[in-house]
Amino acid sequence: MNFKIIKSKISEPLSLLASVAESRQSIPILSNILIKAENDLITLIATDLEIELSFKIACDSILEPGETTVSARKIFDLTRSLPDETSLEFMLKDNQLIVTALKFNGEFAILPIQDFPVVEIEKFDLETTFNGKVLADLIDQTSFAMASQDVRYYLNGILIEIEGSNVNLVATDGHRLAWASETLMKDLDQNKLILPRKSALELQKLLNLYPGEVNLSFSSNQILISSEEFRFVSKLIEGNYPDYQKVFPSGEEQTLKVEKSLIQTALNRASVLSNEKYRGVKFILSKDNLKICANNPSKESAEEEISVDYSGDDLEIGFNISYIQESLSAIHNAEVDFVFYGPENSCIIKNNKNDNLVHVIMPMRL
């Protein structure tokens, strides 16, 4: 194998592949990427057995076809240290991969190509197209609420729910819930699938870099998302997602409207003196006024009042300050609405421009 390629063509794919092929793998080959050169195409593949990500990159400087596997992290670290228009040459010689660029010459260890696992693609029940940027935004607006190592394994991911022409993404860790929705151009069969946490985060990064139209296919335990540049395959979490509709609070609504940056900066200041373990913050509401209070066991405290649009009853309610901050970071709008249902019930935070993004935050006793 021998080919030359410009750094800018492979730097973004390598960053995504290195993230999939974690260096802490117990199986050495899973820390490597597969590099294949043939027919004016360079194919790059990484897998952790749950996810497989591959790219096809046009290359008109393949001097000798071939394939090998090499450390994903080391190749990525090398390429990102080079200027964008640098030409790299990859050459297999004497059971090593030799990479040259500018005046650099590196000899990388390789592992046998036959040890590299290939994910078997299943027969898919449903196929459609979707805008990659829209899907990335839906994940961004919900992924913060996923659990990470919950024994309820189905919470360690995002629910993708298809209902006719609507696609809903839902994530919850039992203390908060994020729901986002988008309308498709056509109706699809009703379906539910749970995308694992790592898959959701890697897919979001991928679609932010490749935001065009993608093909979306899935079966009962596998999802495939592809375009002309890449193919992303992931296993799905088996199990039934809880009925999240029951989490949405009901009753008399009392709405607070506020400029997002105003409450974000106030919360950032309050968080400095909040309890590091429990992260509690108290909201004290009165007409057109919100007082934010936090304290910690060292008898330190913070108070700040901000002007808001609120005409409901006087109210005191506590929250985990991190949950509020993460929710606000996922809402890309200058103004947000907080909808309260009394001091004992969950609060809703939503984008006041439309109803297709809702975050539910459980209260906290302080």
Q: For the residues of 130-182, what is the DSSP string, one character each?
A: EEHHHHHHHHHHHGGG--SS-SSGGGSEEEEEEEEEEEEEEEE-SSEEEEEEE
pLDDT (0 to 100) of residue 220 = 85
Q: Which fold has domain 2-115?
A: DNA Polymerase III; Chain A, domain 2 (3.10.150)
Every domain of the chain and the residues it spans: 2-115, 126-246, 249-361
Q: Do domains 2-115 and 249-361 have the same CATH topology?
A: yes
- Residue in 178, 132, 196, 183 with CA at minimum distance from that of residue 329: 178
pLDDT (0 to 100) of residue 366 = 77
Question: Structure tokens of 214?
Answer: 């993608």
**CATH 3.10.150.10 given to domain 249-361:** yes
- Residue in 53, 55, 66, 67 with CA at minimum distance from that of residue 22: 53
What is the residue-level pLDDT of the chain in tens, covering all 366 positions?
999 999 999 999 999 999 999 877 789 999 999 999 999 999 999 999 999 999 999 999 999 999 999 999 999 999 999 999 999 999 999 999 999 999 999 999 999 999 999 888 888 878 888 899 999 999 999 999 999 989 999 999 999 999 888 999 999 999 999 999 998 878 888 889 999 999 999 999 999 999 999 999 988 899 999 999 999 999 999 989 999 999 999 999 999 999 999 999 999 999 999 988 889 999 999 999 999 999 999 999 999 999 999 999 999 999 999 999 999 999 999 999 999 999 999 999 998 888 899 999 999 987
Q: How many CB atoms lie within 10 A of CB 138?
A: 24
**CATH 3.90.226.10 given to domain 126-246:** no
pLDDT (0 to 100) of residue 79 = 96
pTM: 0.93
